[in-house]
Amino acid sequence: MGEPKIKKLVLDVLKPYSPSLPTLATFIGENTGIERVEIILVEKNVSTESLEVILQGHNISYDGIKEHMEKQGAVIHSIDKVVVESEE
């Protein structure tokens, strides 16, 4: 069996109004190993947006995603779901 790899992450994220959701999704999708980015707006406050960010891919780096998102002012509050699979 191959090494286990993260295939899916569901994250609770807080971000300022800017960047827009399409811009943030495209920016996240630039990461190696990401094949699909889905963002759901959960709540909108005066100056922030709470998001559910669903990432799918073949080898997702959580630390890489966290660092990449922080460049856009987004903060990960929690990991709500993770799927890891071994490659054969």
Report the CATH number at residue 16: 3.30.70.1340
pTM (2 decimals)? 0.92
Given a contact cutoff of 8 angstroms between Cβ atoms, the answer to whether 62 and 79 are in contact is: yes
pLDDT at 32 over 90: no
Cα(8)–Cα(56) distance, integer angstroms: 4
**Cβ contact 28:49 at 8 Å:** no
Full domain range(s) for residue 24 = 4-86
Total tally of structural domains belonging to the chain: 1
pLDDT: is 86 or 11 the higher one? 11
- pLDDT category at 2 given cuts 50, 70, 90 is confident
